[in-house]
Structure 1
């Protein structure tokens, strides 16, 4: 079986163009200008796309490996999904608005897109995050803690087993 490669430059350009098309369509529908956002292909793992806000900076991120395996499905669902998050945020703000609430669903309907929230993709062979873990024990079993929690324990934090309520030890 051939190793999965992320989408190529041509496909990335098509995804960016389609993202822009949905933003332009929204500008015509809502009679206001929406800025084209930067688009990145830097996601990995189980997410196909993400609308990200950090301070005043906004962008849309896509998973190039999931797009490679499910290109047509992602064009039809993920691109309008993420653009709808951007538009919902721009039009309604983030306070009091549910991520996949009525406002978001209305925009998806204007695009004629399926408003499903979770895609059911086979993730085998898709690169994801790997976590370094450390072994710890309690009175009832062993636990694998991430290196972040391990380092916190080294700095004096304490973690307890949810089953037997004893402190985790190495």
Structure 2
């Protein structure tokens, strides 16, 4: 009698175990028609301003590799944390962030866009990210620099201009 139910019971257990939730984090990129219901109905410029305001609360925070708090912050941690506050989950590293959204020309950059840099010319890979906070005659961005912590910098500064790689729009 027991053997009669063993087969169907094992199949049922296998199906229940194999259909568990995925542990992957959701990544929200540029909204599409199918994702529109997931993204809050806050206008893009308001969301950008909210993300920027939150990022600016970390101004002066010391640099800490892997950091995501006021005790210490790295460049991608600042961006990750600021976007997460608005329920937009980005990858955790600057290189992975550089695959999200769409590349846009520098002249079309807007508040809330991400700016990427290659600060190690020997490796020629993206390893730094900042958040555009002001456009116009000069582009200003907030980021966490190794030497100064969380600060606002400008693309007019020779160092950042020479390392500049591109702009991506994720909102």
Instruction: Specify if TM > 0.5.
Output: no
TM interval, shorter chain, is under 0.3
Quick check: which one's helix share is greater? 1
Q: Return the structure number with greater relative CO, CA threshold 8 A, min gap 6.
A: 2
Quick check: which one's strand share is greater? 2
TM-score (norm 2): 0.22
